[in-house]
Each structure stands twice: as structure tokens, then as C-alpha cells.
A and B are shown apart, each in its own frame.
Chain A
Amino acid sequence: MKASNMTNKILPTLSMLVYIFLWAPVIILVLFSFSSNRFGIKWESFTLQWYFDIIGNVAVRDALIRSLTIASITIVVATIAGTIAAYGLYKYKFRGRGALRTTILLPMVMPSVVTGGALLVFFSRAIHIPLGYLSITIAHITFCTPLAMFVVLGRMARIDWSLEEASADLGADRLTTWRKITIPVLLPAMIASAALIFPWSFDDFIITYFVAGVGTTTLPIYIFSQLRFGATPVINTIGTILVVLPIISVLLMRFLQKKK
């Protein structure tokens, strides 16, 4: 039968090809970051030399610290703001709820050049915020908070909210209920958003590039500047870090999820 032919032969083959296509470039990159061959494409021998090299590389170190700092601030602000917003959106039905939700969706969906460009113009021409740490952090918070909000919102349906009512019934005021009941209950969702925001902020290139101005180099921007030299071990190494760290972050989140 035609249909079973399709499903038994074509689909699995197609799927295998897709997985290979998606992962091959990345795996090869990671592999070559351990290759002792400086410029060639043949693998010579396993070495960690390139990793040791970048530890001593001041520019890389600075860029890494900048990226981590910005990511940390972003995670904290975006998660908190996103959680609070998700709470309000979930619990209260108010006019403009749908519109607000769609608006918050927008930064996640817009092409990066548009958000980056718009923010650049806004910062430099409209409200005169200096381009650098501040502008980058604001930009990151802008596109990461919606993510946090939607992640938390998505989990809210599965929570038993009668716990809050019980707390109120037993005499706790709003703030105490928040502290003792709501936040602990939402904590897994918040951690999940944090784990997802990290790669979004740490890895971000385009928007950061637009609003960074001169002199503030994050790790992705540093890589971009190195790209004009073609393929170098430095790029391979940092690239591997930029690929592996987020994967660890996401896997950690799944692992913690499963434990619950």
C-alpha cells in the first residue's frame, strides 16, 4: 500500500537526514576545536591547547565576563517581571488582556534587525541613553521578559491554586501568601524560564550588535569581529563554548523537571 510504503521507508529516512543536517555542522565544529591542526580540515590529534590559549586571551575573558554579567542581570529582572506579569495575566480578566498578550508576544516574533534598529534609533535619538552596558541590558530585558512570562504562564494551568485560597483562609495577608505559597509554587516555572533566558541573552548577537555602540564587546560580538580572519581555532573553541553551555543549561532544566 502506498501509505505504508511512505511511512515505513520514506519518513524514517527523511527524518534521519534531517537530524544529520541539523547536527553535523555543530558536531564537526566541536570536534575540530579539539584538533591540533591549526588551519587544515584534517584531524590530527586531540588537544586542549586552544582552550588553554583562550584562558590567557584578555579580550576573550573580558567579552565573556560582559556576556555573563548582562545575562545574569537579564535573567533576574526578566524572570521576576515575567512571573509577576504572568500571574496578573492568568488570574485577572480585564479589558485589553488579549491585546496586551499579543503586544508582549511581539518582541519575540519581530525580526532582530527591526527590534535592534528601532532600539538603536530610540536610544541614540529619542531618549539619549548611552550605548553600552545599559542599552544592551535594556534590550535584553525587553526581548527576554516575554519569554519568561509565557513559560510561567504555560505552567500556571497545572498548578493547584486552591493553595492560595487556603492560605488566605488561614489568615495570611497578600504579601505573606506570596512569600510563603505563591513563589515556592511558581519556583520550578521560574527556574525553567531562567534556564531558557540564559541562552537567549548569552548568545544574542544581532540585537546586541545594533545597540552596543563602540567598545562594549560581548562574546558573540567578539566572535563576529574575528570572523573576518576566516576560520581560526579561537572561533572554534569559543564557538564550542557558545554551543555547549546553552545545551547544558536546557538539559539541566529538563533534568530538574523530570525530578519533580
Chain B
Amino acid sequence: MERVPKNLRQKVAKLLTKQAHVPYVGPIALWMVLFVIAPLVIILYFSVLSTGPLGQIISSFTLRNYADVLKGAYGIILLRSLAFAFGTNMICLLIGYPLAYWIVRYGGRWKITLIFLIIIPSWTCYLIRLYALKTLIGTTGLINSTLLSLGLISSPLQVLYTPFAVMLGLVYTWFPFMVLPIYASLVGLDPSLLEAADDLGATPFQKFFTVTLPLTKGGVFAGTILVFIPALGEWLVPLLLGGAKVMMAGSLVEYYFIKVGNIPAGSAIAATITAIVLLVVYLGIKLGGQEVLERVT
């Protein structure tokens, strides 16, 4: 019986030294649980509640919210969001990768400045950037007026409030986030590997596809995570550039939470988006390897 307290003391002491990290990561972990995980769980909870005839929330389990979201008009909006996000991702990739490659390969001393010029816009208020883009391409905007005065067109081009405008806005907003991880990945590439490929007889074309691309896939997948996910949940771009005609998943969330106050429905959409986000992150890390995590941060 006397032995027990001593063993216990030893165990606690061992536990305390093993947990030296607690005071450091404890606070942030706690905060994350409280303000990130808990809200998501709450959302999940609300998403399966029903709404009564007067709009109030009733505690009865239902999957109707999800059914509403995934079917009909709203289901189409979700699909459209996926399509937009995918399209944005591909455009950013197809333009961003060559750009990053050009900067790394031919940038020389200006590499850092060049990449900075891409990144800086992303640090500014994106509401303003979208507004600036909107004024530029609007019917009374600079582009139209210039084209009109040059006589290239007879009446202003109606670009705004079309899917094209939304796509343009999405690419405009999220493009820098694809370039940076790819740039970081390319910069970390060992140049002697490229020389070795040359030495072993690879043409520039073969060199790119057998060596450069496989070794930079971490950057590509990181860029995908950083572009696809935000584009999916966009609200502001479709609002400003798409008007009521082009809605995306994010617009629905805002509609339900703020305009209408239908918490369960909004939660259902938010939860669905979250699920897709988690899936994309998981796939990105699986396919891109550990490097993805480093490049994202």
C-alpha cells in the first residue's frame, strides 16, 4: 500500500516532463478547438435540424436541408461552383506554372522582385481589387471607352454579369496563390539534376516532363489547395461581377445566414463545402506528398 503513492508520483513527474510542449502549444490548440473546431461542429449540428412554419429552429433531426441543397436549383449552383473552382484552378495552373518557370529560369537577380510583384496584389484588400476590375471592364469602364474611341467596336462590350466575368474575377483574385508554391518548388530544384538529364540525352521537352514536373508536383498540389478551395466558396466575386445571374456556393451561404436567417439551410451548405474542402486537402497531400504542407505555409 505504501508503494502506490511513490509510483504515482513517479508517473506524474514523468508525465510532466514529457508534456513540456503543453504551455507552448496549449493556448493555440485550445483556441483552435474553441473557435475553429467547435463552430464547425455546431454547423454540423444545425445542418440536421429542421425549421418550423415560422422559420424558427426545431430540434428534430432531418436531412431535408441537405436534400434541398443538393437537388434542384441549389444543386446546380453547387455544381457550377465546382466547375468554376476547377476551371479557375486549371487556368491558374496553365498560366501560373510557365510564369513561375520563366521567373526561376530567366529571372536572375530579379527573381525575388518578379515574384514579389505577383504576390503583392494578393496582400491588398480584395474587395478593392474586384471593384477596380469591375470598373475597368464595365460598360463605362476604361477598356470599353478606349475600344470605342479607337473605333474598334461600335457599342460597349457587355462583359459584366456573365460567367466569363466571374471566371475572370476568380482567376484575378486567386492567381498569385498558385504561382508562389510552384515558384518555391522550382527554386528548390537541384540544378545538377537538370544537367544530369541533359547529359543523359534528354531533350528540353523530355527533361521537363520526366524530371522537372515530377519533382515540383508538391508545389502544384499546394497551389491547387490554395486556389480550388477559396474559389469554391466564393461569394464576393459572383456578387460584384456576376450579379444575381451568376450565383455560387458562397452566395448561398450568405443568402441563408444573413439575408434570410435560415441557419439550418446555410449550415448544410457550409458543411457540404467543408466536406469538399477536407477531401481536396486530403487528396492534395496524398498525391503531392509531404512537400505540399510545406509549400502551403
List the interface of chain A (C-beta within 8 A of B). 1-4, 7, 11-12, 14-15, 18-19, 21-26, 28-29, 41-42, 81-82, 84-85, 87-89, 91-92, 94, 100-115, 117-122, 125-126, 138-139, 141-142, 145, 149-150, 153-154, 196, 199-200, 202-203, 205-206, 210, 220, 223-224, 227, 231, 235, 239, 242-243, 246-247, 249-250, 254
Contact = CB atoms under 8 A, between A and B. Distances in A.
A145 B28 contact: yes
B231 to A, nearest CB: 8
A32 to B, nearest CB: 8
Contact of B36 (A28, A88, A94, A103): A103
Contacts of B129: 25-26, 243
Interface in B18-39: 18-29, 31-32, 35-39
Given A2-B205, A100-B29, 16 more contacts: A11-B98, A18-B95, A23-B121, A41-B140, A41-B142, A81-B28, A85-B24, A88-B24, A110-B229, A113-B234, A114-B277, A117-B254, A118-B39, A121-B43, A121-B46, A223-B127
B106 A11 contact: yes
A92 B203 contact: no
A205 B250 CA distance: 14
B141 A41 contact: yes
Secondary structure dominating the interface of B: helix
Interface string B200-216: 00011100000000000
B238 to A, nearest CB: 11
B31 A109 contact: no
A121 B263 contact: yes
A15 B183 CA distance: 14
A249 B120 CA distance: 10
B46 A125 contact: yes
Interface in B31-59: 31-32, 35-40, 42-43, 46
B103 to A, nearest CB: 7
Given A92-B20, A106-B36, A121 B267 contact: yes
Given A14-B95, A22-B121, A121 B39 contact: yes
A228 to B, nearest CB: 11
Interface residues of B, number: 85
Contacts of B176: 22
B77 interface: no
A117 B123 contact: no
11 contacts: A19-B118, A22-B176, A26-B129, A41-B141, A42-B145, A112-B233, A117-B270, A120-B258, A203-B123, A210-B254, A239-B131
Nearest to B100: A15
In the A-B complex, the 4 residue pairs with the smallest Cβ-Cβ separation, listed nearest first, are A111-B233, A88-B24, A92-B21, A203-B125
Contacts of A23: 117, 121
Given A19-B117, A121-B39, A223-B127, A109 B277 contact: yes
A36 B142 CA distance: 16
A243 B263 contact: no
